[in-house]
Amino acid sequence: MVSLTTHVGSLELANPILSASGTFGHGLEMKHFVAPDCLGAWVSKTVTVVPREGNPAPRIRETEAGFLNSIGLENRGVAAYIAEVLPSLRSLKVPIITNIGGESLEAFVEAAELLSGFAEIAAFEVNLSCPNVDGGKLPFATDPHVAESIMASVRKVTDKPLFAKLSPNVSRISDMAKAVEAGGAHGITAVNTLLGMQVDWRSGRFGLATRMGGYSGTAIKPVALRCAYECVQAVEIPVIGCGGISTASDVLEFLAVGCSAIQVGTASFSDPGLLSHLAQDVANLLAENGVDQVQDIIGRVNQVPARA
Amino acid sequence: MAAPPPDATSQLAQVASIVPCGSDGVLLRVIPRTPFGPLNAGRFFMLRRADGVGPLIPRPFSIFKQEGDSIEFLIKVIGPGTQALAGAAIDSDLTLIGPLGNGWPEIAPEPVNIMLAGGIGSAPFYELIQSKLAKGAAPESLLMIYGAATRGFLYDLEAFEQLGVRVLSTTDDGSHGFHGNVLQCLEAEWAAGRVSESAQLMACGPEPMLKAVGRLAEERKLKAWLSLESYMGCGVGICNGCVVATRPDGELGSWPNAKCCVEGPVFANEAVRL
Ligand SMILES: Cc1cc2nc3c(=O)[nH]c(=O)nc-3n(C[C@H](O)[C@H](O)[C@H](O)COP(=O)(O)OP(=O)(O)OC[C@H]3O[C@@H](n4cnc5c(N)ncnc54)[C@H](O)[C@@H]3O)c2cc1C
Ligand SMILES: Cc1cc2nc3c(=O)[nH]c(=O)nc-3n(C[C@H](O)[C@H](O)[C@H](O)COP(=O)(O)O)c2cc1C
Ligand code: FES
């Protein structure tokens, strides 16, 4: 039996596979396709204190090798999350990570304050990096000082583990990683979507109503892998890899660069049942290769001498 | 909280047959590994080739016919997703996600049920008519008006005509049936007194047609249900991509958006804003 157990800060996860925020519902909506214990942890769609209607349609477009979205963090707010979602998560064994967002530092803090008392929540993922608010300006994801102060302020109002979700749309992600570590993050999720665009030259129309949106899926895997690697190199806290992962081999690549766990997003749209067997696929692949614990793969690229 | 329908699965289905239909369509019949019991007409599945040929994201298609263990789709080939499906090999596997969505509501046979189909929008009506007849509806309580730009887009018209209810066909170019669109045909039927002016409408077709049906229903104070098409990412209610604008006073509640994939694709006319 291959051991898939992994640790992200103080969280022990039965396997390193998590759902990515915004691609797997707020609670356990996907349990018809994926039994709760198939995942190391379930990550909620971003919740904000103030309900958000989201952006106008069209909000999604498929492109040559990936997926563009401009959902705009549609959600019914923290109060509705507490009333309608949290009760359905009681007495679950698998950890729930609640992803929180906000339009200002105060809004992040308030979301964490309102949710901190709930035992159903194992940790917070702080979404510093949604490209679909404020016209893609990414106010919290590009300035290390802002990111650090958000993490530090949220840190003050909760004892739960905090993971900072970073954007790839920066010139040096290692600076952002160091900043959130200094702010008190227990871990980093790398990465959110890349800012992208689609146009139809015949009609002169943009694919998305907001013109720009977040690009995800297979196409972004090399970018995400590089970002995750740079974060691992820059900080001591654990890194959760995310971006373009759809196979067991993809999972192990992110672990090999030093990630402690990974998240799967867009690939669940190709097959909503993917995450019901991905952990088993990883175990099988490791077994075929004579590896008996997933821990042995984590950071492997640093253990192999560089090519001469 | 909108969740995927509890009976939805993600499974493989084997291609049993692919037959050309109309000028740019195919009839695609598949056998799911785990067969389904009778499914509500108007529900849909997301389909993608299991060999990965074609787009990453599955495409939504209405149930056209359900016979025994097989499910048949009527597909207009317009882009990479539909091309990949039309080109699948017999006996090859597709990923089949569903059944999804709500399907047509159960409505009384009186006043007359008028089904308005535009082009490929006819697909969800075949099983609807069949099931209404099977449940004992009188054939006179049902009327289908099936319109398209031209004869080649009246897909499998013969199958509808053989159902035993009155089917009127219309073409914009006059190449078949009534010369005009489905609403002009309906107005002509009303004017001639061949069908009751108090009616219940069900419509599926291109957006301009659905808008026109919505307006007409409002003007004449008729109940109408529209099967809407929206660009879908997941089909199961989790990506928030497929939203349709709702009316604040409508039955969907005060939230400004509804998810077409789980709260639809069939909406009451007075619940949505097109
Ligand atoms: C509930 C529902 C039921 C449908 N039933 C049928 C049916 O029975 N028969 C049929 O032929 N067609 C049906 N459609 C439409 C069908 O899904 C699209 O024609 C198909 O997705 C086109 O894909 P493509 O890759 O061939 O074309 P593309 O070149 O990708 O797109 C062509 C057009 O199709 C639309 N489209 C593309 N991708 C999607 C998507 N993921 N979701 C929705 N629309 C998309 C776009 O708006 C675009 O204008 C249905 C759509 C919905 C939402
Ligand atoms: C439709 C959609 C909605 C998303 N919503 C959120 C969100 O609410 N919060 C968030 O932090 N990330 C969100 N993301 C980003 C994903 O969590 C993930 O970081 C990104 O898609 C890259 O991973 P992938 O290539 O596996 O999809 C969303 C992505 C998609 C495609
Ligand atoms: S298609 Fe994803 S929510 Fe409807």
Considering the domain boundaries, does residue B166 fall inside one?
yes
Residue A132 has pLDDT above 80, yes or no: no
| Mean of all residue pLDDT scores within chain A | 95
Interchain CB contact of B4 with A (< 8 Å): yes
pLDDT score recorded for residue B254: 87
Please write the tens of the pLDDT for every residue from A51-67: 999 999 999 999 989 99
Q: Say if A163 falls within a structural domain.
A: yes
Nearest CA in chain A to B94: A271
Euclidean distance between CA atoms A212 and A194, whole angstroms: 10
DSSP string, B110-170: -S-EEEEEEGGGGGGGHHHHHHHHHTT--GGGEEEEEEESSGGGSTTHHHHHTTSSEEEEE
Q: Is residue B4 part of a domain?
A: no
In a domain, B233, yes or no: no
On whether residue A160 sits in a domain, the answer given is yes
CATH number, domain containing residue B36: 2.40.30.10
Sole residue written with tokens 């990683």: A177
The answer to whether residue A35 sits within a structural domain is: yes
Residue A265 has pLDDT above 80, yes or no: yes
Residue A246 lies in a domain: yes
Q: Which of A230, A244, A267, A286 is nearest to A15 (CA)?
A: A286
Model confidence band, residue A133 (pLDDT cutoffs 50, 70, 90) = confident
Instruction: Judge if B63 and B40 occupy the same domain.
Output: yes
Q: B31 and B136 share a domain?
A: no
End-to-end CA distance of chain B: 23
**A71–B contact, CB cutoff 8 A:** yes
Mean per-residue pLDDT, A146-156: 97
| CB pair distance less than 8 Å for A25 and B237 | yes
Q: Is the pLDDT of residue A269 over 90?
A: yes
Quickly state the pLDDT bin for A303 (edges 50, 70, 90).
confident
Which of B4, B48, B241 has its CB closest to that of A69?
B241
Instruction: Indicate whether A10 belongs to any domain.
Output: yes
How far apart are the CA of B208 and the centre of ligand 3, in A?
A: 22
Question: Would you say residue A305 has pLDDT above 90?
Answer: no
* Domain stops at, among B100, B128, B161: B100
E runs forming strands in chain A: 6-8, 11-13, 17-19, 42-43, 60-62, 67-69, 96-100, 121-127, 162-166, 187-190, 194-197, 199-200, 205-206, 212-216, 239-242, 261-264
> Domain check: are B85 and B188 in the same one?
no
Tell me which of B57, B73, B100 is where a domain ends.
B100
The helix-helix angle for A248-256 and A274-288 (nearest 10°) equals: 70
What is the structure's pLDDT at A246?
97
Q: What is the CATH number of the domain that holds A239?
A: 3.20.20.70
Contact assignment for A54 to B243 by CB distance below 8 Å: yes
Residue A15 is assigned to a structural domain of this protein: yes
Nearest CA among B208, B203, B195 for reference residue B268: B203
Over 80: is that where the pLDDT of A113 sits?
yes
Q: pLDDT category, A188, cuts 50, 70, 90? A: very high
Closest ligand to B62 CA?
A: 1
- What is residue A135's predicted lDDT score, i.e. its pLDDT? 66
Domains: count for chain A: 1
Ligand found nearest the CA of B236: 3
Q: Do residues B75 and B161 both lie within one domain?
A: no
Which of A27, A67, A272 lies closest to B56 in CB terms? A67
CB count in 10 Å sphere of residue A140: 28
Task: Say which CATH number the domain at B173 has.
Answer: 3.40.50.80
Strands (E), A146-190: 162-166, 187-190
- Compute the distance between CA of residue B132 and CA of residue B126 in angstroms, rounded to an integer: 10
pLDDT at A307 over 80: no
Is B123 in the same domain as B215? yes
Residue A55 lies in a domain: yes
The range of the structural domain enclosing residue B96 comes to 9-100
Distance (Å) from the C-alpha of residue A183 to the closest C-alpha of chain B? 31
Say if residue A12's pLDDT is above 80: yes
Is the Cβ atom of B59 under 6 angstroms away from ligand 1? yes
- Put simply, the answer to whether B241 touches A273 (Cβ < 8 Å) is no
Residue type, A74: E
Q: Using CA atoms, how far apart are residues A142 and A73, in angstroms rounded to an integer?
A: 19
Give pLDDT tens digits along chain B (274 positions): 688 999 999 999 999 999 999 999 999 999 999 999 999 999 999 999 999 999 999 999 999 999 999 999 999 999 999 999 999 999 999 999 999 999 999 999 899 999 999 999 999 999 999 999 999 999 999 999 999 999 999 999 999 999 999 999 999 999 999 999 999 999 999 999 999 999 999 999 999 999 999 999 999 999 999 999 999 999 999 999 999 999 988 888 889 999 999 999 999 999 999 9
DSSP codes joined into one string, A187-251: EEEE--PEEEE-EETTTTEESSTTSEEEEESGGGHHHHHHHHHHHHHH-SS-EEEESS--SHHHH
Indicate the number of domains in chain B. Answer: 2
Residue B121 sits in the same domain as residue B58: no
| Nearest-by-Cβ selection for A269 from B1, B57, B256 | B57
Do B75 and B141 reside in the same domain of the chain? no
Question: What lines the ligand 2 site, CB under 6 Å?
Answer: A 20-23, 45-46, 67, 69, 71, 73, 99, 127, 130, 165, 192-193, 214, 216-217, 220, 242-245, 264-267; B 233, 239, 241
Residue A13: pLDDT over 70: yes
Mean pLDDT of A199-220: 97
Ligand 2 centroid – CA A264 distance (Å): 9
Q: Is the C-beta atom of B82 inside 6 A of ligand 1?
A: yes
Whole-number Cα distances in Å, A284 to A4, A88, A110, A280, A292 = 11, 32, 43, 6, 10
Closest residue in B to A272 (Cα) is B10
Q: CA-to-CA distance for B166 and B267, rounded, in angstroms?
A: 25
Q: Which of A130, A231, A242, A259 is catalytic?
A: A130
- Residue A130 known to be catalytic: yes
pLDDT at A302 over 90: no
User: Do B20 and B90 fall into the same domain?
Assistant: yes
Do B127 and B179 lie in one domain? The reply is: yes
Taking 80 as the threshold, does the pLDDT of residue A308 lie above it?
Answer: no
SS3 label, residue B17 = strand
Q: Are residues B151 and B83 in the same domain?
A: no
Question: Is residue B250 one of the residues assigned to a domain?
Answer: no
Distance of CA A299 from the midpoint of ligand 1 (Å)? 43
Domain containing A173 equals: 6-303
Judge whether B255 lies within some domain: no
Could you tell me if B200 and B107 are in contact, meaning their C-beta atoms sit under 8 angstroms apart?
yes
CB A168 within 8 A of CB A143: no
* ipTM here: 0.93
Whether B249 is covered by a domain: the verdict is: no
A25 interface with B at CB cutoff 8 Å: yes
Residue with tokens 């920066």: A170
SS3 A89: helix
Bridge partners (DSSP) of residue B10 are: B97
Note the pLDDT of residue B248: 87
Integer Cα distance of A37 and A34 in angstroms: 8
Q: Do B42 and B78 have their domain in common?
A: yes
Within a domain: residue B260? no
pLDDT at A136 over 80: no
A196 located within any domain: yes
Q: What's the confidence (pLDDT) of residue B3?
A: 87
- The answer to whether residue B262 neighbours chain A at the CB level (below 8 Å) is no
Residue B268 lies in a domain: no
Q: Which ligand has its closest atom nearest to the C-alpha of A43?
A: 2
B45 C-alpha vs ligand 3 centroid, how far in Å? 13
Show which of B212, B227, B242 is a domain's final residue: B227
Ligand 3: centre distance to CA B239 (Å): 5
**B41 and B117: one domain?**
no
Give the C-alpha separation, B179 to B177, whole Å. 6
